Amino acid sequence: MLIDTHLHLDAAEFDHDRAAVLERARLAGVGGFVVPAVDRAGFAGVLQLAETAPGVFPALGIHPLRVDAAAEADLAALDDLLGQGGCVAVGEIGLDHYAPEFDAARQQAFFIAQLELARRHALPVVLHARRAQDAVLAALRRTKVVGGIVHAFNGSLQQAGAFIALGFKLGFGGAMTFPGSRRIRRLAGELPLEAVVLETDAPDMPPVWRRGGRNEPANMRRYAETLAGLRGLSLDEVIAATSVNACNILGLAGTAKAFPGKDADGGDGMADRDGGTLFYR
Q: Which is nearer to Zn ion, 64 or 147 (CB)?
A: 64
Q: Which is nearer to Zn ion, 147 or 267 (CB)?
A: 267
Residues of this chain, 49-108, that bind Zn ion according to CB under 5 A: 92
Interatomic CA distance for residues 179 and 129, integer angstroms: 22
Q: Which is nearer to Zn ion, 4 or 92 (CB)?
A: 92
Which CA distances in Å does 159 have to 27, 29, 240, 274?
36, 32, 26, 23
Alpha carbon of residue 268 to chain centroid: 15
Least distance to Zn ion, CB of residue 50, Å: 16
Least distance to Zn ion, CB of residue 265, Å: 26
Least distance to Zn ion, CB of residue 199, Å: 8
Which residues 6+ apart lie within 8 Å of 117 measured at CB? 75, 78, 79, 82, 90
Report yes or no: 224 and 203 within 8 Å, Cβ to Cβ.
no
The H-assigned helical ranges of 131-234 are 133-142, 157-165, 182-190, 220-231
Interatomic CA distance for residues 239 and 98, integer angstroms: 32
Q: Give residue 57's identity as a one-letter amino acid code.
A: F
Least distance to Zn ion, CB of residue 266, Å: 25
Q: Which is nearer to Zn ion, 221 or 281 (CB)?
A: 281
Angle at 277 between CA 213 and CA 99, to 5 degrees: 145
- How are the residues of the chain apportioned to helix, strand and coil, as percentages rounded to the nearest 5? 45, 15, 40
The H-assigned helical ranges of 37-129 are 43-52, 72-83, 104-120
Q: Which is nearer to Zn ion, 65 or 252 (CB)?
A: 65
- Asked if 281 interacts with Zn ion (CB under 5 A), we say yes
- Asked if 130 interacts with Zn ion (CB under 5 A), we say no
Q: Give residue 197's identity as a one-letter amino acid code.
A: V
Least distance to Zn ion, CB of residue 280, Å: 7
Least distance to Zn ion, CB of residue 92, Å: 5
- Asked if 221 interacts with Zn ion (CB under 5 A), we say no
Q: Give residue 225's identity as a one-letter amino acid code.
A: E
Q: Which is nearer to Zn ion, 185 or 281 (CB)?
A: 281
Count of positions on this chain that bind Zn ion (CB under 5 A): 2
Q: Which is nearer to Zn ion, 61 or 147 (CB)?
A: 61
Least distance to Zn ion, CB of residue 267, Å: 12
The residues of the shown chain that bind Zn ion, judged by CB under 5 A, are 92, 281
